[in-house]
Amino acid sequence: MHWISQLLFILCLGTGIYFFWKSVSRIRRNILLGKDLDLTDRPKERLKQLIWVALGQSKMVTRPVAAFFHIIIYVGFVLINIEVLEILIDGIFGTHRFFSHFLGDVYNTAIAFFELLALGVIIACVVFLSRRYILKLKRLNMPELKGWPIKDATIILYVEIVLMLALLCMNASDQILQGRGILEKHGSFPVSYWLTGFFEAFSTQYLVVAERTFWWFHIIGILIFLNYVPYSKHWHIIMSFPNVYYSNLKSKGEFTNNTAITTEVNLMMNPSYQVEENYVPPTSFGAKDVTDLTWKNLMDAYSCTECGRCTSVCPANITGKILSPRKIMMDTRDRLEEVGKSIDLAKKTGENTSDGKSLHSYISPEELWACTTCNACAEACPININPVDIIFQMRQYLVMEQSAAPTELNNMFTNMENNGAPWQFNPNDKANWTMD
């Protein structure tokens, strides 16, 4: 009968991996809808940043309480996967606690540590639920989180609690069976030991079923959760690493010069200016839709964990403006998902399925012009997301394509064009201020 269990496990594992790979491929396709951008320079600096920011969680510690519990979940997620690896091996080959046969006392110590981490993860999740629903922290209960986003965050925390409890219950029934001589004695169980009282009264036959039930529940739960993650804000556990690696290494606030604009200005101002042989005049400026953004902007959107640190330090938001940098990233991701679905539908039907909308359908001009480009949001983000870059490109579209700049800016543009300065006076009077 063991081979039936193994076959069923391999089938479940293969199905889970297949659908996860499809989700990853979909997200990769969507990100690559963005404009090309070369971020392969300075690999040593990028690797250092990856280790320090993504692996080392260096930007989390600015808020010690959240950082402490987040690091517990982070370390738990990384290390408990070693036990998940053992479960996968046991499921495929029909073994029981595969690593115990090679690691000896090290295995006992590892299992004890994993159990302590599992308890830590449960406590951390309870703390995060309390911050959200009892303390009601402002940044965790803002308008852009109403509806699905707050449900998503809650589902993740509850699922992590349930998966850790299943692991501890599996170990509790396992150690009782070890004590009754049904299973070999392996492992040390400092946390699940306290759960054995719930199972001691049950018969050995019932315990065997219970241990297998918890085992299957834990691993199937992980496979289901694995396929939920790409549709969730929890996708940042995967995306944060490449996103940090490909971070902007320039000083914050340093904008990239748009060579197309420079070339067009030179052509207008200098009749003798020579362009490159293969030069193609730009057809548009700025970002109307997500496909006008770079692939890194779109990766930023998929990497956002919706923690709200960016919004909580945004001076515009703090002073009551409508702008929320977190909402900018969430709206970009939602629009990108919408565009991706339209592409998939077009492939199936062979028809143009354009919905007539754009990224500006999600993000209002009021939000865009509220931004002071101070980069406080980019500085605060734990994984180096940069909402300002998206805002700036969308502003470019409004100004250069729609002539839809605020009146104050239009006055400045007129003065720059006529007077060579933002102020409304004759260029010959520029030095008058020195007279006194």
For position 334, which CATH number holds? 1.10.1060
Q: Which long-range contacts (CB under 8 A, 24 or more apart) does 362-369 make?
A: 362/331, 362/332, 362/334, 362/335, 363/327, 363/328, 363/331, 363/394, 364/322, 365/398, 365/404, 366/322, 366/323, 367/322, 367/323, 367/324, 367/327, 367/328, 368/323, 368/394, 368/395, 368/398, 369/395, 369/406
Residues 117 and 176 occupy one common structural domain: yes
The answer to whether residue 46 sits within a structural domain is no
- What single DSSP character describes residue 251? P
Residues 198 and 90 occupy one common structural domain: yes
Tokens read off for 274? 């020579």
Residues 265 and 367 occupy one common structural domain: yes
The answer to whether residue 254 sits within a structural domain is no
The answer to whether residue 171 sits within a structural domain is yes
The answer to whether residue 148 sits within a structural domain is yes
**Given the structure tokens 């290494």, which residue do they identify?**
249
Residues 7 and 145 occupy one common structural domain: yes
CA distance 305 to 146: 15
Give the end of a domain, one of 183, 217, 245: 245
Residues 376 and 240 occupy one common structural domain: no
Tokens read off for 323? 């702008």
The answer to whether residue 42 sits within a structural domain is no
The answer to whether residue 43 sits within a structural domain is no
Residues 240 and 298 occupy one common structural domain: no
**What residues contact 192, with CB distance under 8 A and at least 6 apart?**
115, 168, 169, 171, 172, 175
Residues 238 and 307 occupy one common structural domain: no
Query: How would you write the pLDDT of the chain (436 residues) with one tens digit per residue?
Result: 578 899 999 999 999 999 999 999 999 999 999 999 999 999 999 999 999 999 999 999 889 998 999 999 988 888 888 889 999 999 999 888 889 888 888 999 999 999 999 999 999 999 999 999 999 999 999 999 999 999 999 999 999 999 999 999 999 999 999 999 888 888 889 999 999 999 998 899 999 999 999 999 999 999 999 999 999 999 999 999 999 999 989 888 888 888 888 888 888 888 888 888 888 888 888 999 999 999 999 999 999 999 999 999 999 999 999 999 999 999 999 999 999 999 999 888 887 767 789 999 999 999 999 999 999 999 999 999 999 999 999 999 999 999 898 888 888 888 888 888 888 888 788 788 788 7
CA distance 154 to 137: 14
Give the global pTM: 0.91
Residues 220 and 276 occupy one common structural domain: no
Number of domains observed in the structure of the chain: 2
Residues 303 and 389 occupy one common structural domain: yes
Q: Bridge partners of 352?
A: none
Residues 88 and 189 occupy one common structural domain: yes
Residues 179 and 114 occupy one common structural domain: yes
Give the end of a domain, one of 218, 245, 272: 245
The answer to whether residue 274 sits within a structural domain is yes
Residues 170 and 295 occupy one common structural domain: no
The answer to whether residue 94 sits within a structural domain is yes
Range of the domain at 372: 259-418
